[in-house]
Amino acid sequence: MNRNISEWNKEFKINYKWFLLGGLIALILLFGEESKAHSQQFNLDAPVTMTVVKIGPNGTGGGTWKCPSVQSCYIKVLEAEARNATEDCHSIEIKRGANIVWSRYY
């Protein structure tokens, strides 16, 4: 069992190239999927809609409005809250395309 240290290193040599290659492939796959998700989520050409669900005397009510921007929809919500028009609201969701950008549940 009198082995020289240099002989021990030769026997258990680890090839780090494969670890580096595997890590690089994992990063490419991870960021490739993430960038695809971000490009779908932040589609600025998608229409912006605001859906209001109200609980009225006849069950549910509300509607969907189309807004020029998310900011204008949010300002409408703040104005409605300031005049207490959201008293019968159950929820409000602002969407860009199919993705929810902002929501509030009352």
SS3 40: helix
Q: Are residues 80 and 37 in the same domain?
A: no
Give me the domain span that covers residue 84.
48-105
Q: Which two tokens stand for residue 23?
A: 């890590």
Task: State which amino acid sits at residue 50.
Answer: M
SS3 97: coil
Tens-digit pLDDT profile for residues 10-49: 555 667 888 888 888 888 887 776 555 555 556 778 899 9
Lowest mean pLDDT among 1-5, 14-18, 77-81, 86-90: 1-5
Q: Rounded distance, CA 68 to CA 9, Å?
A: 67
Between 88 and 95, name the one with better pLDDT: 95
Calculated CA dihedral for residues 57, 61, 67, 70, nearest 10 degrees:
80
Q: Are residues 54 and 100 in the same domain?
A: yes
Between 5 and 23, name the one with better pLDDT: 23
Instruction: Judge whether 85 and 106 are in contact, CB under 8 Å.
Output: no
Q: Are residues 59 and 99 in the same domain?
A: yes
Instruction: Judge whether 57 and 25 are in contact, CB under 8 Å.
Output: no
- Whether 96 has a pLDDT exceeding 80, the answer reads yes
Q: Are residues 68 and 20 in the same domain?
A: no
- Whether 59 has a pLDDT exceeding 80, the answer reads no
